[in-house]
């Protein structure tokens, strides 16, 4: 089934099920949304959320890179 494969092929490359990948990607996405809102508020009120955006980007990059490296080594990502 081509349609089923469209939903499972990429998650399998990072050692995840469809639902595991949905949860992980959703977690990353929500963190990006909230840090984006913090950045917008920082633009209006420069004294608020001074490092929130950059901290979020650094943290997400570190976590995503580590997950990718584990997947490339064939290790199961930490859930």
**Each residue's pLDDT tens digit, 7-35:** 999 888 888 899 999 999 999 999 999 99
| DSSP 8-class letter at 48 | S
Those residues whose C-beta lies under 8 Å from the C-beta of residue 79, and which sit 6 or more positions away, are 20, 24
Q: How confident is the model at residue 76 (pLDDT cuts 50, 70, 90)?
A: low
Single out the residue of 65, 78, 72, 61 nearest to residue 13, CA to CA.
72
* pLDDT reading at 79 higher than 60: no
For residue 75, what is the DSSP state?
P
């Amino acid at each position: 089934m081509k349609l089923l494969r469209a939903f499972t092929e990429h998650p399998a490359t990072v050692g995840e099920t469809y639902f595991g990948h949905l949860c992980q990607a959703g977690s990353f996405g929500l963190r990006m949304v909230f840090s984006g809102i913090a950045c917008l508020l920082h633009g209006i009120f420069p004294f608020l959320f001074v490092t929130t955006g950059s901290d979020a980007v650094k943290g997400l990059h570190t976590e995503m890179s580590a997950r990718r490296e584990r997947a490339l080594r064939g290790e199961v990502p930490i859930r």
